[in-house]
Copies of this chain bind each other. A is one copy, B any other.
């Protein structure tokens, strides 16, 4: 089916600047889609520091298993991304395809296959046509340019209705300036478990792989792991970060660098949730007064993921009892009498009931907006947490009842 652009898409589509040390190429290999690029290659001038966060699915893709080994090695020469076929549960042939692609690229780049990261996204279980991809490798490497980022953000998309791009510069305490460029894709089957659908971030900083991995894991926990479109976790979720090593950092720069990285991750994660299948409203849930990080996250996710909360918000209906229901089902111990809920900044629930006197109009007004803000205080401690979700509309069903057709 034809997908209309999400009403929550960014007003203005930015263009990503070149970054020292990395070149990007895309091509149309006809893997599944016709008339558009579907293969992307990042090529690094020198081995780059590499970190990755991947799906915890027990049926993870062969490409995920391979890229996990690349991240463990900490060094990357190229990242290959194929859109249209996830190459999951395609038997031994699927593993052979990953080996063929990474070995061929390693041969061209004169490195080990364990320095070639690889992703594939799209339908699960259909035979994967590696033979359509291999003949393009030489030209992809030859034509990769520093300007290839925007085309890459288009070429990795599947059911996305817009391309996800982010760029961010950080002025570090030492005086150095580092840049992050990031792209992402994802719209349905989005409840990343330790990662996101697919996202690639490159920085020109010089950072050791171990430090890079620790920073990326923390950033993902605060951003990509706080979003859910539909509770379904992909077999291919991958967030990769490469550091080309052009800009040296001093130890005093690490906190500011990590804050910048987290900001880029949050930017891309929000772009994914705003392109949630069928979404017309962004739901932001903040939880305060929790006894633990786990509790804060569990309550926020329970509300952001509840089908009954999501359908009420789609209908712009201030049916706040469903928020209370979702808090209650989260499994987090609480004292209902201490619980407070605000909607759009207006107090709503207090003392195990709605505020008195009760006037529904400010809530009805807030629900007409694009972003719905639910703030919950548990009164059980001092820990904060958050989650982002989207409303559940007929378009979600339309999209997912026709995805294969």
Contacts and interface: CB of A to CB of B under 8 A. Distances in A.
A243 interface: no
A127 to B, nearest CB: 9
A205 interface: no
A7 to B, nearest CB: 17
B231 A307 contact: yes
Given A89-B352, A124-B321, A394-B397, A235 B312 contact: no
A263 interface: no
A392 B397 CA distance: 8
Interface residues of A, number: 70
Contacts of A189: 308, 325
A314 interface: yes
A63 to B, nearest CB: 14
A349 to B, nearest CB: 7
A58 B311 contact: no
B94 A353 contact: yes
A59 interface: yes
Given A89-B352, A353-B90, A400-B312, A59 B325 contact: yes
B188 A308 contact: yes
Given A324-B124, A325-B233, A329-B232, A336 B59 contact: yes
Contacts of A92: 351-353
A311 B124 CA distance: 16
A308 B400 contact: yes
A397 to B, nearest CB: 5
A285 to B, nearest CB: 15
A232 B320 CA distance: 14
Contacts of A90: 352-353
A404 B322 CA distance: 11
A222 interface: no
A325 B235 contact: yes
Given A89-B321, A324-B235, A397 B397 contact: yes
Interface in A309-346: 311-312, 314-315, 317, 319-322, 324-334, 336, 339
Contacts of A333: 58
A325 B193 CA distance: 13
A230 B230 CA distance: 11
A119 interface: no
Nearest to A348: B125
A252 interface: no
A59 B308 CA distance: 16
A321 B86 contact: yes
B308 A232 contact: yes
28 contacts: A57-B329, A58-B327, A58-B328, A58-B329, A58-B336, A59-B325, A59-B339, A89-B336, A89-B349, A89-B353, A90-B352, A91-B352, A93-B353, A125-B324, A126-B321, A188-B308, A189-B308, A189-B325, A231-B305, A231-B307, A232-B306, A233-B325, A235-B324, A308-B400, A311-B397, A317-B401, A317-B404, A397-B397
Given A231-B305, A392-B397, 8 more contacts: A59-B328, A86-B321, A88-B325, A89-B354, A125-B353, A230-B308, A307-B400, A315-B402
Interface of A: 55-60, 86, 88-94, 123-126, 188-189, 191, 193, 230-235, 305-308, 311-312, 314-315, 317, 319-322, 324-334, 336, 339, 349, 351-354, 392-394, 396-397, 400-405
